[in-house]
Amino acid sequence: MLYVKIALIKQDLKHKTTQTMRLRKLISFATEAITAGLAFAFVLLLLFKPEAFEGRPTVEFVEAPASQVGTADTGMISYARAVETAAPAVVNVYTRKVIAQRSNPLFDDPFFRRFFGDRIPAPQKQMENSLGSGVIVNDQGFILTNNHVISDADEIEVLLHDGRSTAAAIVGADPESDLAILKIELPDIPSIIFGHSESLRVGDVVLAIGNPFGVGQTVTSGIVSATGRSQLGLSTFENFIQTDAAINPGNSGGALINTAGQLVGINTAIFSRSGGSQGIGFAIPVSLAKGVMKQIIEYGRALRGWLGVEVQDLSPSLAESFGLGEMGGALIAGVQAEGPAASAGLQPGDVISQVNGNGINGSRSLMDAIANNAPGTVLSLNVFRQGQQLQIETIIGERPQPQE
């Protein structure tokens, strides 16, 4: 009986030993498999992600679908639609001018000409090229640009946004506002939509489109920095929109548009020490350009009212000497014989304080008030003469065209 119990115990121990050995083999196999897997993963990571061992972060980002990038539908600010609306109507203007130039400036000296006479070589003719921009205003092919872009040009070529080019003819020009009208003959001509420059506010976003430095059509953006800028010495009649949108040589005559793609100004000039844009550019408001353009197309010239007087600003000391106190106005320094002012009885020493009930605060204010009316218009003038207030009516004439 004892022998049987010992045999059973041995058999049970043998069975447990066998199970232990199997468990050890299973654990050993699992450990080797895990170790091999980790080693394999390490090798893959080393091959394909070496930066993980160099202490550099992995850059991850979410990219939007290509169809949504930069579109207005996403709520992002983009002026692409405004540019798409206006850009086809903005053209590059290339001009050529033949100039005569002597090989040595001394040949123009009277002393040399006196002693050498006919032996002085004749001036050599050279072709001078310049560039600018313009805006097609209607499907008839009329183009609005600056007078200084096409002044004295012998040949004018216009390059459209779609790649077509053609010669252009000058319809007329107005040096006093620095505006000019060209005409081209092409089918299917795009044109721009006119906006309302008088509703512009300081801070409004505007875009300048033109051909700076001849690199091709370029768009720059900025804001309206100021309106009604004058007395800059750029032209006779000034009422400029100031903007910080980059305007460079070649932009002259190009479009200043709002965010709806509508024309609000004609880019004209910059203030710069370097010749490039420094954030101070000027554009002629479309409200002024429209009137000049209409007159040039219909009459061949700009029609402005004219009074026929020489005026000067009324300084505080002059106002005091005339006994005017705080009253503003413009002092008549001279009256042209047989002019509208002379016919109305105006005299030197008169002070014009109002035109049709609108106050006058200087010589330029008076000139603008008269010029903004068509020739033949009857104007009512409030005049201060030797301590008396007079009301004089006059029929204004046409302002003489400036001499070239």
Which entry of 197, 252, 353, 363 is annotated as an active-site residue? 252
Query: Is 235 a residue of the active site?
Result: no
Given a contact cutoff of 8 angstroms between Cβ atoms, the answer to whether 264 and 227 are in contact is: no
Q: Report the half-sphere exposure of 161 (CA within 13 A, side-chain side).
A: 22
Which entry of 130, 174, 177, 178 is annotated as an active-site residue? 178
Q: How many CB atoms lie within 10 A of CB 122?
A: 9
Query: Is 178 a residue of the active site?
Result: yes
The predicted model scores a pTM of: 0.72
Determine the residue type at 293. M
Instruction: Return the ∠ at Cα 110 (arms to 104 and 116), rounded to 5°.
Output: 70
pLDDT, one tens digit per residue, over 212-243 is 988 889 999 999 999 988 877 778 888 899 99
Which entry of 130, 133, 148, 235 is annotated as an active-site residue? 148
Domains and CATH numbers, the chain: 88-183 (2.40.10.10), 193-299 (2.40.10.10), 305-398 (2.30.42.10)
Q: What is the pLDDT of residue 396?
A: 92
Q: How many CB atoms lie within 10 A of CB 249?
A: 18
Q: What is the pLDDT of residue 236?
A: 84
Q: 337 in helix, strand or coil?
A: coil
Dihedral sign of CA atoms 290, 215, 86, 240 in order: negative
CA distance 261 to 257: 6
> Which residues of the chain register pLDDT less than 70?
1-23, 26, 29-30, 40-76, 99-128, 272-277, 325-327, 403-404
CA distance 336 to 331: 15
Query: Is 350 a residue of the active site?
Result: no
- Could you give the dihedral angle defined by the CA atoms of residues 271, 274, 279 and 284, in that order, rounded to the nearest 10 degrees? 40
Q: What is the pLDDT of residue 100?
A: 59
